Amino acid sequence: MDATAPYLDFWPRIQKSLASADIETAWFHCTYTLTPHAAYPTQFEEAVEALRYIVEDLGRSPSQILLAGDSAGANLCLAVLSHLTHPSDGVPDVEASEHRDIDAREVMTEWSRAYPNGWPSNNYIEAAEASEGWWNNTQVQQILVLAGGDEALLDPIKAWVNRFKVSGYRI
């Protein structure tokens, strides 16, 4: 998530709310290299490495981990989930509308072109393109998807949710 005041205030409020319900939490906020400084699969590899660090180095059980992200970060969460069930070659395994968004069309077009770095589209780059069966046996207990009504990518998010639901998961 962006390092802006609303996001930086959001997670501590969630943590306080959980603490008031006697739910102890720890937070690991990771960053990834932005385009144009790096392109796919760099960010995907960094996200997998962050999860590997939490599981293997910090010793956290996968059942204790919540993946969360906004926009491209959410797509990285889906790429990591895909990788857990369908390991991607070359990535280490882990044991365990222009008027609807704040970004200018030119910027979104450039980011969309730069991120794949010449790679053809795949289920790790565009989770919404994965078939319904791709999500069978995804290694999660629950998933929460949030999208604003003015989210530029609302239609593909809804399409992904519908595909994911077919696998029998509750969203």
Pure H helices in 21-71:
42-52
User: How is residue 38 annotated by DSSP?
Assistant: -
| Nearest one of 100, 101, 102, 82 to 91, comparing CA atoms | 82
97 is catalytic: no
Task: Judge whether 84 and 94 are in contact, CB under 8 Å.
Answer: yes
Torsion of CA 82, 69, 34, 62, to 10 degrees: -50
**Which of 71, 82, 97, 112 is the catalytic position?**
71
- DSSP symbols for 102-138: SS-HHHHHHHHHHTTTTPPP-TTT-GGGS-GGGGTT-
> Distance (Å, rounded) from C-alpha 55 to C-alpha 49?
10
Task: Judge whether 142 and 170 are in contact, CB under 8 Å.
Answer: yes
Q: What residues are annotated to the active site?
A: 71
